[in-house]
Amino acid sequence: MALPRPLRMSISPPELELIASEHLIEIVPLIAMEKTAFISGAYGPLRPPNKCRIPLWMATNLKLKKKCHIVSPDWLSVDFLQERLSEETSQQGFSRLPFRFAETAKVVLDVASDDVQDAEKIRSLLKDLREARQAKSRDGLSQLDHSELSLPNLCSMEINEIRPFFTQAMDVFTQLARQPDADNP
């Protein structure tokens, strides 16, 4: 078979991580490198201690070899996340976060927790955010029907999480809605 079953209609979290790792992030290099052409574009030149924007996968690679510091994105800070969390718990809709924040945060915190201020606090905030948002998406299930459900500001990892259940539920609604026609054509 060309594809294992779990990958036939969904995408796996490691694959999402791979996609998120194409996004650019700022680093402080510890080695010098000339501007180099890559398939996704030309990056560099790296000149310590000047900041530079490179794809996240490249940053992780260099970081693991201790050749750079990752500058954590503005949204990956205690202040910002705290603010979003209070918004999340006080308001109805989902608060605005970068579309691939969960993947990016995981990668950055995994390899560069020493470059992130208050990494522990951020981890627990991310967890709280996740739980608050999860509860909301579960509530959203009650509004599901056979035609459309708007989920503004939902993020890629969260979509992936609710996908199997939500799509199947909607498929059942679609079948139910179609039934009356089948009886009297």
Partner 1 sequence: MPLGAPPLFQEDEQETPLQQLIRYWTNERHAPDILPTEEDLLSRLLDHIRSQSETVQLLRSDPSSSEEEHFRIMLAQTEVERVKFVVRSYLRIRLFKIEKFARYIMTNPEVQQRLSESEVDHARRFARLTDQHFYHSVLQSLPESQQTLDDQPPFVPSMVTEPDKTRAVFAHARQNCPPVRLPDGTALKMQKGHISLTPYSVVEQLVTRGEVELV
**Smaller CB distance to partner 1: residue 41 or 49?**
41
Q: How far is the CB of 38 from partner 1 (least distance, A)?
A: 5
Q: Is the peptide bond before 73 cis (omega within 30 degrees of 0)?
A: no
Contact (Cβ atoms closer than 8 angstroms) between residue 21 and residue 15: no
Nearest-approach distance from CB 89 to partner 1, in angstroms: 18
> CB under 8 Å to 57, separation ≥6 — which residues?
18, 21, 22
Rounded to the nearest angstrom, the gap between the alpha carbon of residue 69 and the centroid of all alpha carbons in its chain is: 21
DSSP tag of 17: H
Q: Which amino acid is at 32?
A: A
Q: Where along the sequence are the contacts to partner 1 (CB under 8 A)?
A: 1-3, 7-11, 15, 18-19, 22-24, 31-34, 36, 38-41, 57-58, 61-62, 67, 73-75, 96, 98-99, 144-154, 156, 159, 163, 166-167, 170-171, 174, 177-178
The least CB distance from residue 169 to partner 1, in Å, is: 8
Minimum separation from the CB atom of position 120 to partner 1 (A): 22
